A and B are shown apart, each in its own frame.
Chain A
Amino acid sequence: MSSPANDPRQPSTAKPYKPSPVAPQDLPIDYSGFIAVIFGVFGAMFRYKICSWLAIIFSAQSLANMRNMETDLKQISMAMMFGIMGLMTNYLGVGPRGSKKT
């Protein structure tokens, strides 16, 4: 570093950063989102409130780990909707009957 001849820097060869395009299928699989969807469906279908709660929690995790806004948000919002729907039917008794049956 003491002498300029030893300077390894070469500003002329500098290339600006180009983010390498990543194919959507190469992205890490969003397991939590998948689990959230499954729990959400189960919770809404069979009215297990624990399932709906777990769906909400996992969709929160998925939301926290989100990297790609467009593709992930769709899935997460769906899982969220399922979870919320399950909870609504559970607690507000949207269904005509059996709302108290859990």
Chain B
Amino acid sequence: MAKHSFSLSPLSSFLLPRGDTLFYLIALFSILSLLLHHLSPVSAEHRHFEGFDADDIDDFVDPDEPISAAQNLPPPLPTTTLSVSDPVESHHGPPPPPSDSATQVTSQPSDPKPASMSFEEWDEDEFEGIPQSPPSDSALITESATETYTSSESDPGLKPELELESERPRSISDYTVEIVCVSFLIMFVINYFTGKKENENVALAWASKFATIDSIFDKNFSLLGVGETDDSPLLLKEGQNVFKFYASGRRFCQGLLATMELKSRHDLISRLYNMVVPCKDEITFEVYMNDDAMDHVVVAVAKKKLAKTMQKEITDLQRFASVVSPPSGRKWIADELAVVAESKEVAGDMISETVLDQLLNCHSGVLYASGDLYLAAMEVSNSDCWWSNATPVLKVFGDKAYEKFGKGFISMHLSDQHQGSHKKMLVFKFAIPDAKNMADMTRLVALVPYYIDLIGRYKLSSHARTKTEGARMKVAQEIYKELQNARQEALQRKKAEQRKKIEETEAKLSAEALRKKEAKERARQMKKAMPKMKMTRAG
């Protein structure tokens, strides 16, 4: 059956060192135990078959109620009815003596041997729980077995009763588990297709809003989509809820990879889970900057709580940056947000007026103080930034810009010290609105090319530069030291292992030599002792 094909595959996978060998081990183990489980009742049955099949019949009749089954059984012999009439008694203890005498009566009275044999073989424990099995049957093993079986089947009065008993539990309430599980599975399948469609719709809505002709990405990148040609698909689907969008061919950066992680709408279980723990559709932009286009910048902006965890968990922030307190006397980001940056200068330059106007705007009531002071930062973007003459919508923001448009903002992380393959990277994380309200995140998406240009042109002041360089040197040295330490440790470990090996082999080889040596030593000792003896003797 299925077992055979099953037990073969784990065997073959044992030869291959795989990660899921564990599962196969579990599988093999459980199959073995299953087999044992299957075999044990069979062997047990054989034992029962020797004389007392009333037990088997019993099972067929009703496994739940042996007592009632005992009552239902036909009276085998008039002499044994005594034991049947008392079902409680018949379960435990030795058979009543009258049945013994009955054996002798029913079986051949001229030959007492079989009767005595049956008496000797009688074991109380073996037949415990058997409702009715008079030893008298043992004399006529096969005959009585077939008789009782056929009689129980042919008995017209019994049959309907049995059927009634077997049909009684087949009400709907007994199939609750099956009904629930099957309906859940059906719902799961339906939800899989509808959810898949929903996710695709969201992703396509995003792509059609931001990546089609004359859209924001089309104006900024020469290559859109994951393929090599122009008409290649824009989105790459990874799993049912992950979509990727790639763009390349822009100044200052090598490429941009946007990863949309949508809700698991296709998965009913996660959907139910998300009802309890809500989550959002997220999009992560990763901009791979050119190596020469990014100065020493480590800045992250996120909601206060998230900023703190980012500062603790992300290594480059941990190493270089700290939470920057809002500077006095200038417009700063909304209260809910926090900036983690290497220095105040960098933070101030990165959180420029434009950005503040654009989206991370202050709450109402904040005075527009001393805009001139931070004009330097503005200059960067003003000269030939692509939206300096873009639609006015981008720049016209009310005071409550963040409240309005920042709700989709999750985090932003600009760093030249990223962990991983590419060091200089800008990472933006936004929440995706509904498929219908995709325009809500236009301003957020506009942040991406803006920051590419801002970072690409940004140059630290010489004063800040020396500082950051010092910090980077320090960290680099630390890393180098760590690496060297690790290497040395590894070397030492290797050496120790080698030494151990050599010692072991020596010990093995010299076991014989040692014995010889010991023998020699003993002999020498003896020799040493001998002259002493002589000396004493002499003396």
Is B223 a contact of A14 with CB atoms below 8 Å? Answer: yes
Nearest residue in A to B6 (C-beta to C-beta)? A81
Is B451's beta carbon under 8 Å from chain A?
A: no
Give the size category of A's interface with B: 35 or more
Q: CA of A81 to CA of B249 in the docked complex: distance in angstroms?
A: 49
Is B488's beta carbon under 8 Å from chain A?
A: no
Q: CA of A100 to CA of B177 in the docked complex: distance in angstroms?
A: 15
**Distance from B186 Cβ to chain A, minimum over Cβ atoms (Å):** 11
Is B42 a contact of A9 with CB atoms below 8 Å? Answer: no
Nearest residue in B to A46 (C-beta to C-beta)? B37
**Which of chain A's residues have a CB closer than 8 A to the CB of B185?**
56-57, 60
Docked complex: B180-226 residues within 8 A CB-CB of A? 181, 184-185, 188-189, 192, 219-223, 225-226
**Which of chain A's residues have a CB closer than 8 A to the CB of B6?**
81
- Given A2-B389, A78-B23, A97-B45: A13 in contact with B181 (beta carbons within 8 A): no
Is B453's beta carbon under 8 Å from chain A?
A: yes
Is B238 a contact of A67 with CB atoms below 8 Å? Answer: yes
- Given A8-B453, A53-B181, A61-B269: A45 in contact with B222 (beta carbons within 8 A): no
Chain B interface residue count, Cβ-Cβ cutoff 8 angstroms:
64
Docked complex: A70-102 residues within 8 A CB-CB of B? 71, 74-75, 78, 81-82, 84-85, 94-98, 100-101
- Map CB proximity to A onto B101-122 as digits: 1 under 8 Å, 0 otherwise: 0000000000000000000000
- Given A9-B221, A10-B250, A41-B30: A17 in contact with B384 (beta carbons within 8 A): no
Is B421 a contact of A20 with CB atoms below 8 Å? Answer: yes
- Given A1-B390, A61-B269: A67 in contact with B239 (beta carbons within 8 A): yes
Is B37 a contact of A45 with CB atoms below 8 Å? Answer: yes
Q: Which of B254, B269, B453 contacts A32 (CB under 8 A)?
A: B269
Q: Which of B181, B225, B226, B266 contacts A57 (CB under 8 A)?
A: B181
Is A81 a contact of B2 with CB atoms below 8 Å? Answer: yes
Is A1 a contact of B264 with CB atoms below 8 Å? Answer: no
Nearest residue in A to B421 (C-beta to C-beta)? A20
Q: CA of A82 to CA of B30 in the docked complex: distance in angstroms?
A: 10
Is A25 a contact of B19 with CB atoms below 8 Å? Answer: yes
Is A9 a contact of B23 with CB atoms below 8 Å? Answer: no
**Which of chain B's residues have a CB closer than 8 A to the CB of A53?**
177-178, 181
**Which of chain A's residues have a CB closer than 8 A to the CB of B249?**
9-15
Q: List 23 A-B contacts (CB under 8 A).
A: A1-B389, A8-B250, A8-B449, A10-B249, A10-B251, A12-B249, A14-B221, A14-B249, A15-B254, A17-B246, A32-B269, A41-B27, A44-B30, A45-B33, A50-B181, A65-B267, A67-B238, A81-B2, A81-B6, A85-B2, A95-B37, A97-B41, A101-B63
Given contacts A15-B249, A66-B239, 7 further A-B contacts (CB under 8 A): A13-B251, A17-B226, A53-B181, A61-B188, A61-B267, A95-B41, A96-B38
